[in-house]
Amino acid sequence: MTDAALKKPEKIRCDACPVLCFIAEGRSGACDRYANHAGELVRLDPLTIIENSIESGTQAVPFMKGTDGSDWDGDLVQSNRPFVTAVGAGTTYPDYKPAPFIVSQNVDGADMVTVVTEGIFSYCGVKIKIDTDRFIGHERNIVRCQGEPVGHVMTSEYGSKMLSLGGVEHLTGGTKKEGRVTCDTLLKLCNAEAVELTVDDGATVVVQAGKAPIVNGQVENLMRVGCGSATIGMFASQWAQHVDEVIVVDDHITGVLSEHQAGKMLNVPPTGIKVNGRRSTPGRYFQVAEPGTGWGGTDVEDPLTILKPADPKVAWQGLRLLMVSTTGEQYAYYELDENLEPQPAPLTEAIKLSVERIAENCEPSVCSVLFMGGAGGSLRAGVTENPVKLTNSVKDSLTHVSCGGANTYVWPGGGITVMADVLDMPSNSFGYVPTPALVAPIEFTMRLSDYVALGGHADQIRPIEDVISDSVRRVGQIDPEADPTAKHNYRWKKDN
């Protein structure tokens, strides 16, 4: 055997990210996105094309509100044409490269261009909305994964707890392990996988996009119908003829029917039932208990603990009292005895129906995960030689920004800062590089004339027919139930 035959194949260098891996034959780089196949650098994920079937009525992604085949109406993205996403496209790194795919397409007589690239986002994170009343942690408390800080608790929104995870401070500003765990957490969440998080001095929460949260081992079912005061307002007319007093227990605003404006309008008389807490406006009380995982997001297990002794000058024996949470999942009915003490009593059918009506009006509790990132230098340089022109084009609504074909919200102000719902994107849209940073698809769609005007890489434009081949992944609709490991089963595709 000759020396040449014995010689091991040389490793090849990948320049798709700052790590610059040397990859041996048959092996992939540290990110699992690029590999050495017979001495050639190949992309492991297929380029993903979103195809909408007019015949079947399949809608690929929500923002493609589409047309019925009529003349082009100015929409930059239409549902009756294949859309080239950046999933599997490759990256523009280092900055001097044009974007991997700059695709032209004629749409009802209008020449369109879509520029696609997988961006390396060091400045990125996720915003998580968790539909639950249960206490998960105080605002500003640190959120951890595998013991490492990966984010913090934000201000609660109506019926939901909010988390902010990731960001450059965690990816690069802490320890090496913190950055690695943060990147892995973001990757899993963005690819709709489940992640267990713990909040300092708070709860353990399992979060997965589109799924119910699991708080301290308990699956959440319902998002509250409203705060205690709002619940009084919604159901006062259904209670007024069947009970004398209703108290809706809530961590933020507990409602009391007889004092509430809704009760006054329905001629509900005073009952002498008094509630602990800080009185706001009539029938609305703050801080009736500490936050917790009990009734209405409080630490209350026995609702009677939030009551003061009844006023003997106003209350009466036989007074009918309903206490209920903002989801209707906890409720109790009492009647006052001769000592004006509440005694448990069976619910009447009318009261039971009203409690069920609260639960009926509660939406299912789910987790929402929004990717958020800033499109920086290499992204914009991959589109045009004068990056600020792309930014201005986006601000002027001449360029539409999408992520994996999903509609994005572009933040006002400087730069191109976008948010996208990960469930609107094809499965396994996200990758990573061990710098660490997240790899996310981003597309810029505009008219050909506008692309030329902003100094785009016009010599790199390719017709869509040259891009769509047997090796691309075609997506007809988003499937959040897709196997998260399926990305490794697709055949290799040459990196263009």
Q: What is the pLDDT of residues 319-378, one digit of tens each?
A: 999 999 999 999 999 999 999 999 999 999 999 999 999 999 999 999 999 999 998 877
How confident is residue 128, by pLDDT bands cut at 50, 70 and 90? very high
pLDDT digit string, tens, across residues 474-491: 776 444 444 443 332 222
End-to-end CA distance of the chain: 36
Task: Please give the radius of gyration of the chain, using alpha carbons only, rounded to the nearest integer.
Answer: 29
Nearest-CA neighbor of 110 among 462, 447, 407, 379?
Answer: 447
The rounded mean pLDDT for the chain is: 86
Q: Looking at residue 2, what is its pLDDT? A: 55
The mean per-residue pLDDT over the stretch 6-32 comes to 78
Report the range of poorest mean pLDDT among 11-25, 66-80, 132-146, 223-237.
66-80
- Is 139 a residue whose pLDDT tops 60? yes
pLDDT tens profile 202-248: 999 999 999 999 999 999 999 999 999 999 999 999 999 899 999 99
| Greater model confidence, 214 or 465 | 214
CB environment 153-167: b (16+ within 10 A), e (fewer): bbebeebbbbbbbbb
d(CA 309, CA 471): 74
Q: What is the pLDDT of residue 177?
A: 97
For the entire predicted model, the pTM comes to 0.85
Pairing between β-strand 142-145 and β-strand 124-131 as defined by DSSP bridges: unpaired
**For residues 322 and 397, what is the distance between their CA atoms, to the nearest angstrom?**
54
- Spatial CA neighbour of 429 closest among 194, 92, 190: 190
φ, ψ dihedrals at 400, nearest 5°: -95, 130
Rounded Cα distance, 45 and 39, in Å: 18
| pLDDT of residue 94 exceeding 90 | no
Q: Which pair of tokens denotes residue 381?
A: 């340089």
Q: Please report the pLDDT score of residue 206 as a whole number.
A: 98
pLDDT at 80: 56
Confidence of residue 418 (pLDDT cuts 50, 70, 90): very high
Per-residue pLDDT, averaged over 115-125, amounts to 91
pLDDT for 58 beyond 90? no
If one compares 302 and 112, the residue with the highest pLDDT of the two is 302
Give the distance, in angstroms, between the CA of residue 281 and the centroid of all CA atoms in the same chain: 35
Mean pLDDT of the 103-123 span: 86
pLDDT surpassing 50 at residue 50: yes
